[in-house]
Chains A and B, each alone.
Chain A
Amino acid sequence: MAKRTKPVVDRRDFLKGAAAGAAALAAVPASIAAEPAEHKRVVPPPMSAEAEVEVPSVASVLTADRTGSDFMVDVLKSLGFEYVCANPGSSFRGIHESIINYGGNKNPEFITCCHEESSVAMAHGYYKMEGKPIAVLAHGTVGVQHASMAIYNAYCDRVPVYVILGNIIDATMRVPGVEWFHSVQDAAAMVRDYTKWDDLPISLEHFAESAVRAYKIAMTPPTMPVVLVADGELQEDAISPDLKIHIPKLNAEKPPVGDAGSVAEMARLLVAAENPVLIADRTARTPAGLTCMVELAEALQCSVVDQTGRMNFPTRHPLNQSDRARAAIADADVILGLDAADFYGVTHTYRDQIDRGARPGTKANAKLLTISSDDLFIKANYQDFQRYSEVDLAIAADSEATLPLLIEAVKRITTDDRKRAFQDRGARLKAAHMQTLERSRDAAAFAWDASPISTARLCMELWDQIQNEDWSLVGATTFVSRWPQRLWNFNKHYQYNGNAGGYGVGYNLPAATGAALANRKYNRLTVNIQCDGDLMYAPGVLWTAAHHKIPILHIMHNNRAYHQEVMQVQIMADRHSRGITNCGTGTAITGPDISYAKLAESMGVYGEGPISDPKDLGPAIKRAVEVVKRGEPALVDVVTQPR
């Protein structure tokens, strides 16, 4: 990289101590300001006693009214970031200070995180609730290494997390020691396989342009994480107070929409079908997506199977057939996947035995259709793209943006005869939906009074306390057998926000906290059903919630094990006929049992539990809800059945 011309003095010139003529140096390009050999000596480490007693040259410039990081904050403000999540790090100290002082710590406000994985996961959860990203700051080395798993989750979940990494590119500007350990040639390299775009700007104008470009790329479906590297020198070099650098306008990009011909053909197939099924997953990026899903389903009076990557469809809508998905798909003659993360998996059955065969779960002549923005962007290394699906019509586009056209096309060609057939179908589906709901209630009754507490009882005790509030359930429900979707009444987009995407454990607690941060200004009651193993990855985010007064209710699903892995080891032991006596080794979270209530209390979060008698659960949740309604976080530890 070409040596930069420094308009004013560099901060590290101070550390050169006796470097003569530093003021003069400021006026000339750094590349030609050679330091006299006789003045070269060991530089004391910064923030040390030796450095503090050093007498700097009288000519050294020690302050600057404005630096590059101030301008960077101007850029961040122009993009409308509400928050920036970070664990503090010296490689971005310039931006940090500019945010809290120059920027007034507002838009963005600095959210203190205890781990970079938490920073990214908070941004992940926030986006799915608010529909826009927040920024994350991290070291370009040790920070992004911590953050990488959470970035992978966001990538797999198609969530635009905006990551800014601090780094010092110019080796001659690094202070010996830590700054070398915290510098890297290519900071974004280690996450490039699972981010959409990155850049290393070498001027402030470059920074502005790349920052706006990164935002646009991240937010254009398929939405994904992006990385921007903020060079330390660029952050900290002084700039003239009058310096005018243009910040480009953010282009109002429209998401990619399916072509009219393909959409018309898709509509024809759906209208002609006897049993069409819509598979929704990462479909409703925004509330508009949920509205469109209902409109399309009602226009066709067809089955909807919601895989709950987002809040796509009301759970008590009579066309919701999610809890009889296999049956609905097996009966279907046309199946449409809408940004389905694993369309092959939905349309096939799979057996995890020694013979790991898959077979179709559909009729032989069923037509398979997809609308997916994944067809527009794919990378090779990580295999999140799933097995190749043989489909009859694949539209490479964003499904939410394409739905209005598809609805219009369906309505245009639906004849009165078809409408009558649709009404009959709708009546059958309504009956099937009600039968499924009844079966779910009956299933929930088993082990109703058990101790440890059943996951069904846990979910319904929670529902009892929140159903009359403006609630928002954040975090995955997979590990409680999806009882909320089976028994609660979801009908608003913000009432659920999907799962991790990449199944990386450690997502749920910080992502739920990020979602709660988004919900705070709307006064929603945010609740999270929290697995014990996930919490233990980075529990420090409990402190973040207390510190920043983020109201959220965590209900622990504390089954005292990495339970999925208990079962995986058990499968192996059974396959080898060795018995499962030892399967708790390496998977159990016992001996000692963890007191999550005390853990929460130690970080300033209201805690109750452990609760193992179901009769005690409702009152405990009620007390915790009152705490959350006062604007504080709370946690109720519930000892539960495995699933």
Chain B
Amino acid sequence: MRWAKHRAEANKIRPRDLHASLMSGAHGFAGLLLLIFAALLLGLPVARARQSSDAAPNGNAENGKKLLRADGCYECHGLLGQGAAQTGAARIGPPQLSFDGFQSYVRSPKNQMPPYSSKALPDQDLADIYAYLKSIPMPPKGKDIPLLNK
């Protein structure tokens, strides 16, 4: 099944840096404690383990592209995050929200979108997806595409 295949591929190339491995998966809580401990040891404020609240954490765009499909975002939003009037899904590629706003909405959507808990979609996966969406260039304006003006 293609969904399962994409999920397996995404898992293969997931960035296994310290932050990602600690913050995601079944070891998340223990990892978080370790990270706090490491931060204290290094004398760094915990907040600096992540970027500022309006900036996206480090994400792997290549992995995010696979996750967009594997985690079903594309079902409503399209493979390039273009959105769809029929599903009511907003355009998310490139994203119109900051990462915090994006994450907040995904976890606790206001309208029809199904909620994605961190259990179903770990924070790092979400960051990867966001990185992919950020990598999508803005298209030309509609008025500049001749076929759209007939």
Contacts and interface: CB of A to CB of B under 8 A. Distances in A.
A441 B143 contact: yes
Nearest to B116: A574
Contacts of B140: 445
A452 interface: yes
Contact of A482 (B78, B85, B121): B85
Interface stretch (B26-34, B35-43, B46-54, B66-74): B66-74
Contact of B70 (A461, A581, A642): A581
Interface string B58-90: 000000000000111011101111111111010
Given A438-B142, A581-B7, A584-B1, A447 B79 contact: yes
Contacts of B85: 323, 443, 481-482, 486
Contact of B80 (A446, A455, A563): A446
Contact of B86 (A438, A444, A482, A582): A482
B143 to A, nearest CB: 6
A567 B79 contact: no
Contact of A643 (B4, B78, B112): B78
B3 A441 contact: no
Given A443-B83, A445-B140, A580 B91 contact: no
A641 interface: yes
A487 B75 contact: no
A544 B108 CA distance: 50
A467 interface: yes
A448 B139 contact: yes
B114 A574 contact: yes
Given A441-B148, A445-B148, A582 B3 contact: yes
A449 to B, nearest CB: 8
A57 interface: no
B147 interface: yes
Contacts of A588: 1-2
Contacts of B114: 570-571, 574-575
A642 B84 contact: yes
A578 B121 CA distance: 9
B75 to A, nearest CB: 5
Contact of A574 (B80, B86, B120): B120
Contacts of A487: 148
A460 B78 contact: no
Interface in B107-150: 111-112, 114-117, 119-121, 139-145, 147-150
Contacts of B72: 566, 570, 574, 580, 583
Interface in A326-341: none
Given A445-B139, A574-B116, A452 B79 contact: yes
B93 interface: yes
Interface string A171-204: 0000000000000000000000000000000000
A445 B142 contact: yes
A480 B70 CA distance: 22
A555 to B, nearest CB: 15
A584 to B, nearest CB: 5
Contacts of A482: 85-86
B91 to A, nearest CB: 6
**3 nearest CB pairs, A to B:** A441-B142, A574-B114, A643-B84
Interface of A: 323, 351-353, 438, 440-448, 450, 452, 454-455, 460-461, 463-464, 467, 478-482, 486-487, 563, 566-567, 570-571, 573-575, 577-585, 588, 590, 641-643
Interface of B: 1-4, 7, 70-72, 74-76, 78-87, 89, 91, 93, 111-112, 114-117, 119-121, 139-145, 147-150
Given A460-B147, A570-B72, A575-B115, 4 more contacts: A455-B84, A579-B7, A580-B120, A582-B4
22 contacts: A441-B142, A441-B143, A443-B82, A445-B144, A446-B139, A447-B80, A448-B145, A450-B79, A450-B82, A460-B150, A467-B150, A481-B86, A482-B85, A482-B86, A570-B72, A570-B114, A573-B120, A574-B114, A577-B119, A580-B71, A584-B4, A643-B84
